[in-house]
Amino acid sequence: MTTDAETFHALAGDDLVRLGFSLANDPCQTTGRYSDSGAHYECCRGLRLCVGFENDSRSAVVSFGRLWSLGEGGGAYFSNNYAILARRFGIDTPVYYPLSWGEQRSREIATILADLKGTLPEVMKRVTLDDLVHVEREPFGAETLARLQVGADFERLFNVSSFQAQ
């Protein structure tokens, strides 16, 4: 059975390569008992993009930014939801994408790609380290989640990927 992440990558791979991203995981892999999946991408500027699919909630979410990781199996976060960062630039995208079952699901996955194709070039052009730090400190941002997970020692325990401005 093909995962949603695999379907997304088949549609998006070439477009994301043109924007400087490369696939960083195997989108065929599933996690959890509901066969959740995600397509993870990274670019040479230190930015990451993840399109994650949750079958239990029947939704997809796009995460973006620097990668915050806590060692082997200790958890990882992206700066924040892509929509949160995009809003800093006056760009409106959904925080979550609802997913149906059956044929409609493929069209919904294509909508995610269409939104990224229409907005990601502008976000990539405008994003700065200050933007990333700002969204990481918002609710559900990577710094906030890291602080909640391990406490005040989060800065020492989490590795944060570097970011290079254009």
> What DSSP assignment string belongs to 113-147?
HHHHHHHHHHHHHH--HHHHHHHHTSTTSHHHHHH
DSSP state for residue 109 in the 8-state scheme: H
Report how far residue 9's alpha carbon sits from residue 7's, in angstroms, rounded to the nearest whole number: 6
Residue 166's pLDDT is 76
> Span 136-154, mean pLDDT?
91
pLDDT greater than 70 at residue 147: yes
Report the percentage of the chain scoring pLDDT > 70: 94
What are the tens digits of pLDDT across the range 19-38?
889 988 878 776 655 568 88
What are the tens digits of pLDDT across the range 121-130?
999 999 999 9
What are the tens digits of pLDDT across the range 79-98?
999 999 999 999 999 999 99
Nearest 10 degrees: CA dihedral of 25, 45, 143, 127? -120
Report the percentage of the chain scoring pLDDT > 90: 57
Residue 82's pLDDT is 97
Residue 73's pLDDT is 67
Nearest to 59 by CA among 79, 38, 41: 38
pTM above 0.75, yes or no: yes
Give the helix ranges, DSSP H, for 2-157: 4-18, 82-87, 103-126, 129-136, 142-150, 154-157
DSSP state for residue 96 in the 8-state scheme: S
Nearest to 123 by CA among 75, 63, 74, 73: 63
Please give the mean pLDDT across all residues of the chain.
89
Residue 27's pLDDT is 80
